[in-house]
Amino acid sequence: MTEPRPSTLIRAVLFAHGVITLAGAVVLTVWPRVIPAAVGITVEPRDFLLVYLVGAAELAVAVLSFGATRLADGAAIRLVVVTLAVMHGASGLLNVLYMAQNGWSGVLVANTGARFVAVLVLVGAWRFSVRRVHQT
């Protein structure tokens, strides 16, 4: 069975994901103290490399998301969606691990919830587009 052509919905979700992750990359690289400070972590200039590396990863994810909006191959889009879902799901679980070790934070709880919502939206949009194609 061939994979369906990606729907407008999944393309819109991937575009929105690209915008959000690009914004994260910009904040992490231009203001490297802001996001860590939101969860009570103090970052000194000698520690910026770690933040910059996360910013680079966010930039790569944004490029992947934007690039996926132009793909015509359903299997390729599925791989992108699964990859992004794994990244957000694993990040959410690692947030929980961090909070178990260091105490709960409203910001981290919200971030964890947002990551799990991202998984649901990405996978849900993909499943909707697959179901829509198979019904036609």
Is 3 part of any domain? Answer: no
Per-residue pLDDT, averaged over 2-27, amounts to 90
Does a structural domain hold residue 101? Answer: yes
Q: What is the mean pLDDT of residues 114-135?
A: 87
- Domain encompassing residue 26: 8-135
| pTM of the predicted protein model | 0.90
Res 100: pLDDT: 97
Whether 2 maps to a domain, the answer reads no
Whether 1 is in a domain gets the answer: no
- The answer to whether residues 47 and 28 touch, using CB atoms and an 8 Å cutoff, is no
Can you read off the two tokens belonging to residue 4? 């369906």
For residue 22, give Cα distances in angstroms to 27, 66, 93, 136. 9, 10, 22, 35
Report percent pLDDT > 70 for the chain: 93
Residue 82, in any domain of the structure: yes
Question: In the predicted model, is pLDDT for residue 4 greater than 60?
Answer: no
Amino acid identity at 81: V
| Total domains, the chain | 1
Q: Is 84 or 136 the better-scoring residue by pLDDT? A: 84
| Mean pLDDT value across the chain | 93
DSSP 29-51: HHSTTHHHHHTT----GGGHHHH
Residue 118 lies in a domain: yes
Query: Rounded to the nearest 5°, which phi and psi values hold at 129?
Result: -70, -35
Residue 2 has pLDDT above 70, yes or no: no
Band (134; pLDDT cuts 50, 70, 90): low
Contacts of 116 by beta carbon, 8 Å cutoff, 6+ apart: 88, 89, 92
The reported pLDDT for the residue numbered 55 is 98
Predicted local confidence at residue 130, as pLDDT: 80
